[in-house]
Amino acid sequence: EAGVTQFPSHSVIEKGQTVTLRCDPISGHDNLYWYRRVMGKEIKFLLHFVKESKQDESGMPNNRFLAERTGGTYSTLKVQPAELEDSGVYFCASSHLPGTGTTDTQYFGPGTRLTVL
Amino acid sequence: GNSVTQMEGPVTLSEEAFLTINCTYTATGYPSLFWYVQYPGEGLQLLLKATKADDKGSNKGFEATYRKETTSFHLEKGSVQVSDSAVYFCAQAGGFKTIFGAGTRLFVKA
């Protein structure tokens, strides 16, 4: 079974540019999450999709961040315009819906390292 | 609110030494507890987990026991190897969010 995949693995952009990160969850996982780790600090929750719907976006830092999950499969996270403080590693994770006999374990992708210059 | 606190690193050990990385949590209710590991150049991997009090998670020689009375989930390994060098994250999940500690970097010297 393929794991969570993310693209690109690294992105280096100038301040003010736009970047779009992509996440492909494990097949059959309806829950999809975005997290980020900034400057070696703790990994923080950004938002949660259940299928194509945003269940919780309380961790999104501001309106420069836009996440979508059209069709309930892969998700994109767009940063527009990017600022220096957006640099960090962006992780995606997926899990089953509760009640399907599985635990609430989230499986993480390798992350996208974003550097804003 | 819910949180996770883990010991600051870096932790530097010689090969075959005993490892303990302390982790405590605050939570309303009874979350599941996890240890994740990030090896150099790689993504986050689930190392072990425990879903209820007194459960012991184990994997690759690592162990952690869910202690409700002390709200702790300390990670231990009896004999570390150079290949264990990585960043270790303690985490809890009581709903859909996973809440992480700041991570502890482990260096193991040959």
Summarize pLDDT for A105-115 with one digit per residue, the tens: 788 999 999 99
Q: Could B49 and A103 be called an inter-chain contact, meaning their C-beta atoms sit closer than 8 Å? A: yes
Pick the residue from chain B with its C-alpha nearest to A40: B102
- Tell me, what's the pLDDT at A98? 62
Asked if B96 is an interface residue toward chain A (Cβ–Cβ < 8 A), one would say yes
Q: Could B32 and A106 be called an inter-chain contact, meaning their C-beta atoms sit closer than 8 Å? A: no
Question: Residue range A32-40: average pLDDT?
Answer: 90
pLDDT at A100 > cutoff 50 = no
Q: Could A40 and B103 be called an inter-chain contact, meaning their C-beta atoms sit closer than 8 Å? A: yes
pLDDT at A12 > cutoff 90 = yes
- Tell me, what's the pLDDT at A104? 63
Asked if B82 is an interface residue toward chain A (Cβ–Cβ < 8 A), one would say no
Asked if B73 is an interface residue toward chain A (Cβ–Cβ < 8 A), one would say no
Range picked from A27-41, A45-59, B58-72 for highest mean pLDDT: B58-72
Range picked from A51-65, A87-101, B85-99 for highest mean pLDDT: A51-65
pLDDT at A21 > cutoff 50 = yes
Q: How much of chain A, in percent, has pLDDT values that exceed 70?
A: 92
Residues of chain A neighbouring B50 (CB-CB closer than 8 A) = none
Q: How far apart are CA A67 and CA A20, in angstroms?
A: 9
* Cβ-contact B90, B75 below 8 angstroms: yes
Q: Could B51 and A103 be called an inter-chain contact, meaning their C-beta atoms sit closer than 8 Å? A: yes
- Tell me, what's the pLDDT at A70? 85
A vs B, Cβ pairs < 8 A, gives 63
pLDDT tens-digit profile, chain B (110 residues): 889 999 888 999 999 999 999 999 999 888 889 999 999 878 889 999 999 899 999 999 999 999 999 999 999 999 999 999 999 999 998 777 889 999 999 999 99
Pick the residue from chain B with its C-alpha nearest to A38: B102
| Interface test mutation site (partner B, options A7, A26, A29, A43, max chain B beta carbons within 10 A) | A43
Q: How far apart are CA A54 and CA A51, in angstroms?
A: 8
Element spanning B19, H or E? strand B19-21
A101 pLDDT tier (thresholds 50, 70, 90): very low
